[in-house]
Amino acid sequence: AAPLALARGVTRATLRRDFPTAARIARWLVLLHTEGVPVPLDPAPLVEHLGLYGAGPRLALDVAIARRLLGLEDV
């Protein structure tokens, strides 16, 4: 139930253009994904979208953490 609730939350926040909230939720969704929990959406395009359209230091931190967890960012 938790992955579905997180996916719904991040989708709603993104559609509202509340990118800081979406990035926080996406970070938790990515953490579940990296632990092998099946999630109902692919978090990589979501994180890329948030990084492109969002702004602010907290959002940048959440996106950087999510990208690192996904292996999209070099160490």
Four-point Cα dihedral 68, 62, 59, 72, nearest 10: 20
The pLDDT value recorded for residue 73 is: 73
- C-alpha separations of 56 from 18, 19, 21, 41, 48 in Å: 12, 9, 12, 25, 15
Average pLDDT over residues 41-53: 92
The pLDDT value recorded for residue 74 is: 61
First to last CA, the chain: 32
pLDDT tens digits along 1-17: 699 999 999 999 999 99
Average of per-residue pLDDT values in the chain: 92
Distance CA 54, CA 61 (A): 11
Average pLDDT over residues 34-48: 93
The pLDDT value recorded for residue 1 is: 66
For residue 59, give both structure tokens. 């959002």
The pLDDT value recorded for residue 72 is: 83
